[in-house]
Amino acid sequence: MSTSSPRPIFGALAGLKVIDLSRVLGGPYCGQILADHGARVIKVEPPAGDETRAWGPPFADDGTAAYYNGLNRNKRDIAIDLSRPEGREIVLKLLEDADVLIENFKIGTLERWGIGYEQSLRERFPRLIHCRVSGFGADGPLGGAPGYDAVAQALGGLMSVNGTPDTGPLRVGVPVVDITTGLSAVIGVLLAVIERQRSGRGQFVEATLYDTAVSLLHPQSANWLQSGQTPKLSGNAHSNIAPYDKFLTQTCEVFLGIGNNGQWKKLCEFLGRPDMADEPRFATNADRFRERDALRALLEAYLLQVDGEWLCRELLAAGIPAGAVRTIPQVLTDPHTLHRDMVVQVEGVQGIGIPVKLSRTPGQARTMAPRFGQHTRELLIEHGYGAATIDVLIARGTIVEHVAT
């Protein structure tokens, strides 16, 4: 790993240098996670900037969309026109002591520029880990096609199991494929980093939206592979477990997740109906699943008489998985959310905290997302460029420098 850095950074990945050429969501999210845990991440933006800077409202005071700010903290930023040979030379300079390259260009773009992995980067930088995030990969019937989260949800089968018979297939409300593809990219990078400690060699890492969407189909995929029966839309109900569904209470909607017979017995005792646990039609999960309509009717008769928030607190205290259906404001102001440091403030800007907690080398939200071209000049100076050369590159439009106002 590289050891040079302009300022001390701590964390499990301290010393790892990452060049992040990616835009939008999956790639930047991967880069942010690495940065949260100490990697030195340099975000390279095109002259037009990462398009998510404009994906608002809402916007921060400097005009940057919240969408962008939520995916790019702890990075430094340089703006380079990679369509120009001298711009590509700057990136090659940045890569000389880099450990990881993240990119999500349309497949074939780097090769057209003469800097594809197999084409040149593997030989020139043998220790480099090149991580590509793409929609469908480079080959196969869909190879090279552009990928977006909702398209991957549709083609990858997720929409077909999300929704009810009344609504029809629905997109999951968050960009779950983009986000999990970013997580897959992180896993791939870290696997390659560990393997490099043995071999001394880097390698190509690929994470695609399509592969990730398919990997998320459990248990419906396992069910179909076993039974041959096409999964159907089931709303909030589980395709294998009962009761595992959303219910209406006197005050709010709640979700009960009863995963085993012990929890079912506890639930019956809590509801004052211990006899239900002994009924043959509800004795096992398979029994309950077959009789789920009758079971639901019995549960609703009780649940409609109680306060949902109180109910869920009592059930959780009794070891029974349950939760009120909450809004985003309720979640982000909840005492447990705050206790877990899942809302953080950096330089006056609030953001989501770090979900993976390490005891000795915890991650940290150190700096807010950078402004466009904020570190262009200082990064070039660090990599051996003189002030006069930098001024020429700016004048030519090869690089863009943020000027504070």
Residue labelled with tokens 């120009």: 84
At residue 50, the pLDDT reads 96
Beta carbons of 290 and 308 less than 8 angstroms apart: no
At residue 240, the pLDDT reads 87
% of the chain beyond a pLDDT of 70: 98
Identify the band that residue 247 occupies on the pLDDT scale cut at 50, 70 and 90.
very high
Identify the band that residue 235 occupies on the pLDDT scale cut at 50, 70 and 90.
confident
Identify the band that residue 108 occupies on the pLDDT scale cut at 50, 70 and 90.
very high
Q: How far apart are CA 3 and CA 10, in angstroms?
A: 12
Residue labelled with tokens 């942010």: 32
Q: How far apart are CA 264 and CA 289, in angstroms?
A: 12
Residue labelled with tokens 């026109």: 81
Q: Which domains does the chain have, with CATH numbers?
A: 17-215+343-400 (3.40.50.10540), 244-332 (3.30.1540.10)
At residue 1, the pLDDT reads 52
DSSP helix/strand/coil, 130:
strand
Indicate the helix (H) or strand (E) that contains 246.
Answer: strand 244-248
Q: How far apart are CA 255 and CA 248, in angstroms?
A: 9
Task: Dump the DSSP string for 78-97.
Answer: EEE-TTSHHHHHHHHHHHTT
With residues binned 3-state (H G I as helix, E B as strand, rest as coil), the percentages for the chain, rounded to 5, are 40, 15, 45
Q: How far apart are CA 322 and CA 377, in angstroms?
A: 53
Q: In the chain, what is the greatest distance between 2 CA atoms, to the nearest angstrom?
A: 84
Beta carbons of 110 and 103 less than 8 angstroms apart: yes
C-alpha distances (whole Å) from 200 to each of 129, 154, 189, 357, 366 are 11, 40, 15, 29, 31
- Whether 87 shows a pLDDT value over 50: the answer reads yes
Identify the band that residue 171 occupies on the pLDDT scale cut at 50, 70 and 90.
very high
Q: How far apart are CA 70 and CA 352, in angstroms?
A: 8
Mean pLDDT calculated for residue range 7-17: 87
Q: Which residues pair with 343 in a beta bridge?
A: 352
CA-based torsion, 270, 274, 279, 284: positive or negative: positive
Contacts for 116 with CB less than 8 Å, ≥ 6 apart: 110
178 is catalytic: yes
The one catalytic residue among 36, 81, 149, 178:
178
Q: How far apart are CA 105 and CA 21, in angstroms?
A: 8
Written as six digits, the tokens of 54 are 């404009």
Q: What is the DSSP letter of 356?
A: S
Identify the band that residue 3 occupies on the pLDDT scale cut at 50, 70 and 90.
very low
Beta carbons of 239 and 231 less than 8 angstroms apart: yes
At residue 2, the pLDDT reads 47
Identify the band that residue 317 occupies on the pLDDT scale cut at 50, 70 and 90.
very high
Q: Per residue in 26-66, pLDDT tens?
A: 999 999 999 999 999 999 999 999 999 999 999 999 999 99
- Whether 141 shows a pLDDT value over 70: the answer reads yes
Q: Per residue in 333-359, pLDDT tens?
A: 999 999 999 999 998 889 999 999 999
- Whether 5 shows a pLDDT value over 80: the answer reads no
Which residue from 22, 62, 86 is spatially nearest to 403, judged by alpha carbons? 62
Q: Are strands 343-346 and 349-352 parallel, antiparallel or unpaired?
A: antiparallel
Average pLDDT for the chain: 94
Written as six digits, the tokens of 360 are 């000795």
Identify the band that residue 405 occupies on the pLDDT scale cut at 50, 70 and 90.
low
Q: How far apart are CA 248 and CA 254, in angstroms?
A: 6
Would you give the distance in Å from CA 119 to the centre of its chain? 30
Which residue from 224, 264, 222, 219 is spatially nearest to 237, judged by alpha carbons? 219
C-alpha distances (whole Å) from 12 to each of 69, 126, 357 are 23, 23, 11
